[in-house]
Structure 1
Amino acid sequence: MQGRIVKALAGFYYVESEGVLYQTRARGNFRKKGQTPYVGDWVDFSADENSEGYILAIHERQNALVRPPIVNIDQAVVIMSAKEPDFNANLLDRFLVLLEHKDIKPLIYISKTDLLEDTQNLSEIASHYQAIGYDFITEMADLLPYLSDCVTVFMGQTGVGKSTLLNKLAPELALATGEISDSLGRGRHTTRAVSLFHVYSGLIADTPGFSALDYEVTTSEDLNQAFPEIKHHSAKCKFRTCTHTHEPACEVKSAVETGQIWQMRYDNYLQLLSEIENRRETYKKTIKRQ
């Protein structure tokens, strides 16, 4: 039989096949091969009547996220709050870079817009991201059509209202919502397990809230590819390995100067590039000392 893992808990994998849920375990040979089944995996499995089933084979994956471990994702809703905490373009770009690198379509959702006294700045920010090609959503009703026939994950910094949004989308999930800590200025971790749920003719998954992002883009080339507008203009740079910092005849820097590339996005690109280079130097020094 074939099906998709929709929940993993305590060594059990719950596989959905033709509307029926089967409780399974993974064969020991997966550990020998260094393989682990994840939520979202399409698998071959056995399921004898009145007995526990076994996963026999894992199909090739389309993509994967490390935290939490979930695979074969169509799109990700990146939730950023307008206030409490304040909107953070740098953090948003970090999410977008990760998703571009993983070939997962991003949807930008802004929560808590009702806390804004003036929405002009948010409108300007939205226009910049929309010009790049990103969907920028501020109302739950506008989000619903995107969920149909897709596997969607929800991700965002702790305290932005992710669990609150999911509770509105699917009240039956009864997810716990964490309050903002006045002393820390951020939310408590409220999500524990990863599961896929049927909502609005699609599948959605919650992911644990976090304030730090596992960053998997480790080269300047990958970073260049993860900024769509920089990737587009870099094709006309004089040097194929142009980092868009000091090189002559750089089309990206020209595009920034003429406003074709948003200055804030370019600044965030430079910060991420600097972090990549610093990690590389630290690694080289560590190797030399060994």
Structure 2
Amino acid sequence: MQGKITKGIAGFYYVHTEGNCVYECKAKGVFRLDGKKPLVGDNVELDVLDQEKLLGNIREILPRKSQLIRPEVANVDQALVIFSIVKPRPNFNLLDRFLIMMQQQEIPCIVCFNKSDIDEEEAGRGYLDIYGACGYRTLMVSARQNLGIEQLKELLSGKTTTVAGPSGVGKSSLINCLQSGVVMETGNISEKIQRGKHTTRHSELIAVEKNTYILDTPGFSSLGLFGLEKEELGAYYPEFAFYEQDCRFRGCSHISEPACGVKKAVEAGRISRLRYENYCLLYEELKNKKRDYQHAGR
């Protein structure tokens, strides 16, 4: 029988199969010998041990088409990052960090702004324009009033999507809207899991409809930049690319050089000043991180 791992805690893996059943499984020891660890999102072959109690063993991990490092999950097609328009207002520096992290892992992103129902200043439209101009798919929703949910479901249909966002933006409410009406038969959670369930922070795949899953991840309030040099940062701001040809100097950092095409585009309003200012902050952070590392090595 084939299925997809939707959750893994303390050596137990929960595998969703056709027919909306979820089997509690252990992985065979051969995986440890091969140095291969089952991940949330893995498509697997399982042997059923007890149909009534929905217990099984994972026999084989099927080939992965992708594997994320943060969060550690397999076979993700895209990412949905959720920020609220108001209460709280978006932390755009944090949003840009997340987009960079996904680009590093070659995962396309959808930028979603929630709480459109209380956007009295209509700021959300401007946010869509900023990130839409950068090439990201964007949309505005209200989980409370169920606005924009059908459009979002269309973007998620047939894909496995990792869903992320800081605390307080309505991520859980939005996920509840997406999975409304989905009822899965679930095996009994073991006593071992019961003891740890209130303290374990884990990622979990949720079946929305056939072949459509969303990966709920813990909320974040900060994100570091890893595996990135300051000279590479500009490549993660796709709106810069067209204007870099107008820079006088090859390898222009777009910070202090004269005759910089990117800075001219910012002044002319063709590149978002908000995005450019975030770029400058992140560039300085990467610059200082490298300097601190060099000093520590002396």
- Give the TM-score normalised by the residue count of structure 2: 0.78
Q: Which residue is equivalent to 1:126?
A: 128
Q: Secondary structure at the match of 2:133?
A: helix
Instruction: Point out which structure has higher relative CO (alpha carbons under 8 A, 6+ apart).
Output: 2
- Residue deviations 1:26-79 (CA, integer Å, cap 9, x gap): 344544665432101234x45265474244446345240423x22321122211
Q: What is the aligned counterpart of 1:147 among 143, 156, 159? A: 156
Q: Which residue is equivalent to 1:53?
A: 57
One-letter code aligned to 2:138: F
After superposition, the Cα gap between the structure-2 partners of 1:190 and 1:271, relative to the gap in structure 1 and judged at 3 Å, is farther
One-letter code aligned to 2:92: A
Q: Give the Å deviation of 1:223.
A: 2.1
Q: Which residue is equivalent to 2:287?
A: 277
Q: Does 1:12 align with 2:22?
A: no
Q: Which moved more, 1:50-59 or 1:257-266?
A: 50-59
Cα separation, 1, equivalents of 2:5 and 2:119: 41
Q: Give the Å deviation of 1:148.
A: 0.6
Cα separation, 2, equivalents of 1:35 and 1:16: 20
Q: Does 1:114 align with 2:123?
A: no
- Residue deviations 1:129-151 (CA, integer Å, cap 9, x gap): 22222222112232121111111
Q: Which residue is equivalent to 2:144?
A: none
Mind listing any 5+ residue stretches in structure 2 that lack a counterpart? Answer: 142-148, 184-197
Q: Which residue is equivalent to 1:85?
A: 88
- Two-structure CA RMSD over aligned residues (Å): 3.0
Q: Percent identity?
A: 38
After superposition, the Cα gap between the structure-2 partners of 1:34 and 1:269, relative to the gap in structure 1 and judged at 3 Å, is farther
Q: Which moved more, 1:165-174 or 1:83-92?
A: 165-174
Q: Which residue is equivalent to 2:204?
A: 195
- Residue deviations 1:106-158 (CA, integer Å, cap 9, x gap): 11111222223221x33223222222222221122321211111111211111
Cα separation, 1, equivalents of 2:83 and 2:151: 16
Q: Contact 1:191–1:207 at 8 Å: present in 2 too?
A: no
- Count residues in correspondence: 271
Q: Which residue is equivalent to 2:195?
A: none
Q: Secondary structure at the match of 1:103?
A: coil
Q: Which residue is equivalent to 1:180?
A: none
Within 5 A, what are the aligned runs for 1:33-52?
Answer: 34-43=35-44, 45=45, 47=47, 49-50=49-50, 52=56
Q: Which residue is equivalent to 1:100?
A: 103
Q: Contact 2:133–2:239 at 8 Å: present in 1 too?
A: no
Q: Secondary structure at the match of 1:125?
A: helix
One-letter code aligned to 2:167: T
Instruction: Give 4+ residue runs of structure 1 displaced > 6 Å after superposition.
Output: none
Q: Which moved more, 1:246-255 or 1:90-99?
A: 246-255
Within 5 A, what are the aligned runs for 1:224-263?
Answer: 224-234=234-244, 237=247, 241-247=251-257, 250-263=260-273
After superposition, the Cα gap between the structure-2 partners of 1:64 and 1:253, relative to the gap in structure 1 and judged at 3 Å, is same
Cα separation, 2, equivalents of 1:206 and 1:87: 20
One-letter code aligned to 2:90: F
After superposition, the Cα gap between the structure-2 partners of 1:84 and 1:217, relative to the gap in structure 1 and judged at 3 Å, is farther
Q: Secondary structure at the match of 1:132?
A: coil
One-letter code aligned to 1:129: Y
One-letter code aligned to 2:101: L
Q: Contact 1:24–1:55 at 8 Å: present in 2 too?
A: no
- Residue deviations 1:69-109 (CA, integer Å, cap 9, x gap): 22321122211112221122222212222222222221111
Q: Which residue is equivalent to 1:137?
A: 139
